[in-house]
Amino acid sequence: MDNNVIIDLRNISVKFGEEQVLRNINLYIRDKEFVTLLGPSGCGKTTTLRVIAGFLEPDEGDVVFDGKRVNGVPPHKRPVNTIFQRYALFPHLNVYENVAFGLRLRKLPESHIKAKTAEMLELVNLKGFNRRNVASLSGGQQQRVAIARALAVEPRVLLLDEPLGALDLKLRKDMQVELKSMQQRLGITFIYVTHDQEEALSMSDTIVVMDEGEIQQIGTPQGIYNEPKNAFVADFIGESNILDGTMRRDLFVDFSGKRFKCLDKGFEKNEPVDVVVRPEDVDVVAAGEGMLRGTVTSVTFKGVHYEIIVDIKGFKWMIQSTENQNVGDEIGLDIEPDAIHIMKKSVYSGRFGDYSSFSEEFDELSDPEEEEDI
Amino acid sequence: MSRLSKFYTFLVFLFLYAPIVVMIVFSFNASDSTGLLEGFSVKWYRVLMGDRAIMQALYNTLILAVASSVAATVIGTLAAVGLDKWKKNWVRTGVMTVTNIPMMNPEIVTGVSMMLLFVFMGRLVAGSGTLGFGTILIAHVTFNLPYVILSVLPKLRQTDPHLTEAAQDLGCTPLKAFFKAVLPSISTGILTGMLMAFTLSLDDFIISYFTTGPGFQTLPIAIFSMTKKRVKPDMYALSTLIFFSILVLLVLINISQARGENKRARQYKKGEV
C-alpha cells in the first residue's frame, strides 16, 4: 500500500438497532486526494463520514489515521473537520466570531487569530463581512462561512456532507469549481458526500459508489463511467441500457438475438452476463441497415441532443442522438465493439437498465432533494 | 355592532381591573376607612416600611423566589436537554406527562402531600420541627420545574442538532460544546423559564402555607395571617407594590419571548430556503 495513505477504514460495520447501515467497508484514502462517496439516500455514505469524523463509533472494524488506530478518539482530537449539510453556523456569533471559533479554542494570540480569520474570509470571498449576522447571509454565503470556519483550524482532511445540496443549480455549479480549485490550492484531502453523480464525476479524483451499506465500486470518474462493475453502478452513474446477454467466447457476446463483437474477455464460455450500452454510444442508421431494428416510442428534446426511446423486441432502449426522429418510425441501430461493456451477473441484475417505465416525473421523484441523515 | 363590541371589551377590563384600581386608590387614602377617601397620602407606605414583620417576610419571599427559580432553572434546563436527546417518543411523552402533573394538580393536593412527606421524613431522620426554609424551597423548586422545562424544550427543538457536533469538530470537549454552542441558542428560553419560576414562587400561597414552619414566613402567608384581624390600608400599599413588581416581571417575560420569536423569524426568512 502507498506510504501517503492518510485514512484507512478496515472492515467497518455499523448497526442502528437491527438495521445494518454499513457492511464491511474497506477503503483507504490518500493524502491530498479528492474522494467522493456517492450513492442514493440511505446508502451509508453520511454514516461513513461520521465514522471518520468520530461522531459515530463503528461496531466492528478499525479507523486508521496516519498509521495510528483512532477508534475511541473523540471528534475534538481528530485532525479532520466537517462541513455540515445545513452548515451549522453558530447563530449567536457574527461571521468573524464563527470563523475564529476554532482558533480561540486553541488559545492563539489575538493578532494571529485576526490575521488567520482575515485570510480565510478572503479565501472564500467574504472580505468585509466580519460584523454581519450569520442569519442575514444567503445560503451560498453561509456555505462559505462554514468552509472558512473549518479551514481556519488547518485540518489535514476536510469532510463535506452534501455541502451544496441546499443551493440552487447555478450557484452549485460555481461552488463545485471553487471547491475543487480550493482543494488543489490548499493541498488538503477532501472527502465529499453526495448523491449527485454529475457533481461526483466533475470534482473527484476517486469515486466510491455505495449502496445498501456496501461499497459497490471504487475508481476514477472515467473508470467508473466506462467500466461499471455491476448494474447498480451502471444505472446510477449516467444513463445505461442494461441487457441480458451470453458471453459466447472471448470478444463475442450475444444479446437482443444477435451476436456482437466486443472488447471484453476472461469470462467462462457461455456465461450469462449483463451488457451495458451507453445511450450516447449508439448510432442511428436507416431501418434495415445496422445490427438492430426497432420502433421509436418517444422523443424528448434535451437541448444538446434528443433522447429517443426505441422498442427493440420488447426492450426499451434509450438513445441520445443529435438528429430528431418521429415517433412510430422504424430505425436501425449500430453498436461499435468499444461501445459494449460486459459485467458479471450480480444481485442487481435485471433491476435496472430498461426504459419501459421511464418518464420525466419519475426521474425527478427518484432524485430526492433532501437527503435523510443516515 | 362595533360600538357594542367596544363596550363589551370595556366591561371585561372593568371587571378585571376595577378591584386593583380601587385597591391602589385606597392605598393612598389618608384615613384607614374603607368607605371614604379623605385625601392623598403615602402614610400607609411609610407604615409598611416600618413594619419589621412585613419587611422580614418580604425579604424571605425574595430569597426564596431567587433560590428556587435559580435551582429550578438549572435542574429544568438539564432535564430539558436530556429529554431532547431521547429518541424514543413514548418515553419522552411519558416523562413529560409525569413532569406536568405538578402543574395540573390542585395546589392544595400538592401542598398537603408535600407537607405529609416532609413531616414523615423529618420524624424518620431528625425528630421534629423539619418544616422551614429547606422544605419550602424544595416545594417551590418542584412546582417551578415543569414551567422551566416547558419553556426550554421548544428552544432546544428549534436549534440545529449539528451545532454541538460543529463545536466539537472545531475542538470543544462535549461539555464545552454545550456551553459554547447550545446554551447561547436556548438562552431566551432559559430566561423566560427563570422569570416565570420567580413570579410563581413570589406569589404562591397555598403550597407555601403547608410546607413552611413558623420560623419562615413568606409575604403571602404574613398577609393572610394579618387578615384574620382587621385589614389595614398598609396591606393595600403592600399589594399595590406586589402588583407593580409582577407587572414589570410579566413585561420582561414577554419581551424575552418576543425577542426569541423575532430572531427565529429572521433566521427563517433569510437563512433556510
pLDDT in tens, chain B (273 residues): 688 899 999 999 999 999 999 989 888 888 877 777 788 888 888 888 888 888 899 899 999 999 999 999 999 999 999 888 887 778 888 888 888 887 888 989 999 999 999 888 888 876 666 788 889 999 999 999 999 999 999 999 888 888 999 999 998 998 999 999 999 989 989 999 999 999 899 889 999 999 988 888 898 888 888 777 777 788 888 889 888 888 898 888 888 777 766 665 655 554 443
The full length of chain A comes to: 374
Q: Which of residues 101-140 of A touch B (CB under 8 A)?
A: 101-102, 105-106, 134-139
pLDDT of residue A3: 65
Q: For chain A, how many structural domains are there in total?
A: 2
Indicate if A216 and A181 belong to the same structural domain: yes
Are A86 and B170 a contacting pair at CB < 8 A? no
- Do A210 and A256 belong to one domain? no
What part of A 146-185 touches B (C-beta under 8 Å)? 149-150, 153, 166
What residue of B is the nearest CA neighbor of A153?
B170
Q: Which residues contact A39 (CB under 8 A, 6 or more apart)?
A: A45, A195, A209, A210, A211, A216, A236
- For residue A188, what pLDDT is reported? 92
User: Which residues constitute the domain of residue A51?
Assistant: 5-226
Last residue of a domain, one of A226, A249, A271: A226
For chain B, say whether A55 makes contact (Cβ under 8 Å). Answer: yes
Q: Tell me the nearest-neighbour CA distance from B144 into chain A, angstroms.
A: 28
Q: Which residues make Cβ contacts (< 8 Å) with residue A134, sequence separation at least 6?
A: A89, A90, A91, A93, A94, A95, A98, A142, A145, B271
ipTM of the complex: 0.78
The chain A residue lying nearest B183, using CA atoms, is: A92
Fold of B51-270: MetI-like fold (1.10.3720)
Amino acid A143 reads Q
> Same domain for A247 and A284?
yes
DSSP letters spanning B63-94: HHHHHHHHHHHHHHHHHHHHHHH---HHHHHH
Q: What is the CATH number of the domain that holds A270?
A: 2.40.50.140
Q: Exposed, middle or buried: residue B239 (CB in 10 Å: 0-12, 13-18, 19+)?
A: middle
pLDDT band at A367 (very low <50, low <70, confident <90, very high): very low
Residue of A nearest to B178 (CA): A90
Name the residue of chain A whose CA is nearest to B166's CA: A88
CB atoms within 10 A of CB A365: 9
In chain B, which residue's Cα lies nearest the Cα of A158? B169
Residue A75 has its nearest CB partner, among B168, B187, B271, at B168
Secondary element (H or E) of residue A285: strand A282-285
Phi, psi for residue B100 in degrees, rounded to 5: -80, -15
pLDDT digits (tens, 9 = 90+) for A16-42: 888 899 999 999 999 999 999 999 988
Say whether both A204 and A296 belong to one domain: no
Q: Does A272 touch chain B (CB under 8 A)?
A: no
Same domain for A215 and A260, yes or no, is: no
Q: What percent of chain A has pLDDT over 90?
A: 51
Contact between B172 and A76 using a beta-carbon 8 Å cutoff: yes
DSSP conformational letter for B180: I
Check CB contact of A53 with chain B, cutoff 8 Å: yes
Q: Is the pLDDT of residue A321 over 80?
A: yes
Give the whole-angstrom CA distance, residue A206 versus residue A37.
Answer: 9
- Measured between CB atoms, does A141 come within 8 Å of chain B? no
Burial class (CB in 10 A: 0-12, 13-18, 19+), A326: exposed
Q: Examine the domain organization and report whether A176 and A315 are in the same domain.
A: no
Chain B CB contacts of A153 under 8 Å are: 170-171
B269 to chain A, minimum CA–CA distance in Å? 9
Range of lowest pLDDT (A234-243, A361-370, B144-153, B186-195) = A361-370
Residues of chain B with Cβ-Cβ distance to A140 below 8 Å are none
A136 and A37 in a common domain: yes
pTM for the model: 0.78
The answer to whether the Cβ–Cβ distance between A84 and B165 falls below 8 Å is: yes
